[in-house]
Amino acid sequence: MTNILITGGAGYVGTPLTARLLSRGHSVTVYDNFLYGDDLAAHDRLRKVEGDIRDTPRLYDALWGVEKVIHLACISNDPSFELDEALSRTINFDCFEPMVEAAKTRGVRRFIYASSSSVYGVSDAPDVTEDHPLKSLTLYSEFKAMCEEVLERHRSEAFETVTIRPATVCGYSPHMRLDLSVNILTNHAVNQNRITVFGGAQRRPNLHIEDMIDAYEVLLDADPQIVSGAIYNVGAENMSISAIAETARSIVAEAFPEKGEIEIVTTPTNDLRSYHVNSDKIFHALGFRPKRGVADAVRDLCAAFRAGLIPDAMTDPKYHNVKVLKARQAQ
Ligand SMILES: NC(=O)c1ccc[n+]([C@@H]2O[C@H](COP(=O)([O-])OP(=O)(O)OC[C@H]3O[C@@H](n4cnc5c(N)ncnc54)[C@H](O)[C@@H]3O)[C@@H](O)[C@H]2O)c1
């Protein structure tokens, strides 16, 4: 049993990750400002601390007795980041080093950092491995990459650090995001019989949310001699956006035969991120290989829609981080 603190533990990935770690017998502290609400189920080994990662003294207090940190909290996509770049920088970069120092001073043994495969930007390389040059196309990605360097500077024998660069996550979570590519396309297929594809040729790596959680579990337990200081890509299927749309269309058509024809409409985009990520390093080092694919995520989402677990998907702003933040700004 380990004492784990997850920043951003109330988010799309954090919510089911917390449930999984509790089910394994760990004690979990979720440190989150609950920007987008709280769907965490109560548990006697779950402690929730409502706090901002920029509030270092509060975070320092919450880190008492914590052995391992998984750092997820941030403004987690480009459109949300761009709403107020100066404010986003304070969350995604400025507070990062004070947070790492607080964890180190508190005696945290391992710090796991969620970077992003978007740090690669655009690449024609047939396979983008971890040593590929970074070419961030947006500030969100640039700060993700800068935090990696900060973390590396603080690594020591007593303070183990590990960075992962996950692909775009997909599939059902009790704290649902419908602003991620596979989830968007599936939602549109289910709820409006029409999928709009922006661009289409861009290749992106994808990762089922349960595989994302499996990867964090592996990193929590891994031998420090192997993982400390390492950076790992974590992705499953590299697919073009058009291919994801085709997959969503055929699986949704099977799951909802009553819906009839699902149309695919293609329009231009300025989001040019395109790269083919190779995730062999984490397999060779730790034996981790994703077990699920995009089709599994679409099937799981169809089952969740069918069960009424994602109500008002086309109208409720809570499924889109940028809409929640815009509404807050307008207040
Ligand atoms: N979801 C993906 O496809 C994906 C892909 C690659 C990397 N990542 C990274 O994984 C992490 C988790 O992603 P997610 O999809 O769960 O994101 P999310 O937006 O659903 O969750 C982020 C959480 O952080 C919290 N948060 C935001 N600002 C905060 C602050 N100032 N103080 C405290 N808490 C704050 C939010 O309330 C939210 O609960 C992020 O770092 C993201 O960049 C995600």
Query: In this predicted model, what pLDDT tens digit does every residue of 92-110 receive, in sequence order?
Result: 999 999 999 999 999 999 9
Residue 268 lies in a domain: yes
Instruction: Give me ligand 1 centre to Cα 254, in Å.
Output: 32
Report yes or no: 252 and 298 within 8 Å, Cβ to Cβ.
Answer: yes
Question: How big is the CA angle at 271 (ends 268 and 276), to the nearest 5 degrees?
Answer: 110
Q: Find out whether the beta carbon of 235 lies less than 6 Å from any atom of ligand 1.
A: no
- For residue 114, list its beta bridge partners: 164
For residues 159 and 108, the answer to whether their CB atoms sit within 8 Å is yes
Residue with tokens 């979570």: 173
Q: Reduced to 3 states, what is the DSSP secondary structure of residue 196? A: strand
Q: Structural domain of residue 51, as residue ranges?
A: 3-241+251-330
Q: Cβ(95) to ligand 1 under 6 A? A: no
Q: Give 69 Cα–ligand 1 centroid separation in angstroms.
A: 14
CATH of the domain at 145: 3.40.50.720
In a domain, residue 114? The reply is yes
pLDDT in the model for residue 275: 76
Ligand 1 neighbour 76 (Cβ under 6 A): yes
Please indicate, yes or no, whether the overall pTM of this predicted structure exceeds 0.95: yes
d(CA 96, CA 150): 8
How many angstroms separate the alpha carbon of residue 7 from the centre of ligand 1?
8
Kind plus residue range of the DSSP H or E element containing 47: strand 46-50
Phi/psi of residue 25, each to 5°?
100, 0
Q: Which atom of ligand 1 is nearest to the CA of 170?
A: 3
Atom of ligand 1 nearest to the CA of 115: 7
State in Å: Cα 261 to ligand 1 middle. Answer: 35
Atom of ligand 1 nearest to the CA of 80: 19
State the pLDDT at residue 330.
86
Contact by Cβ (8 Å): 52, 99: no
Q: In whole angstroms, what is the distance from residue 234 CA to residue 236 CA?
A: 7
Give me the number of domains the chain comprises: 1
- Predicted local confidence at residue 204, as pLDDT: 83
* pLDDT for the residue 125: 79
| CB of 181 sitting under 6 A from ligand 1 | no
- CA atoms of 52 and 62, how far apart (whole Å): 11
Q: Which residues of the chain have pLDDT under 50?
A: none
DSSP-derived pairing of the beta strands 46-50 and 27-32: parallel
> What is residue 132's predicted lDDT score, i.e. its pLDDT?
92
Query: Does residue 301 sit within a domain?
Result: yes
Asked if residue 246 is part of any domain, the answer here is no
Instruction: Tell me if 77 is assigned to some domain.
Output: yes
Query: pLDDT tens digits for 57-88?
Result: 999 999 999 999 999 999 999 899 998 999 99
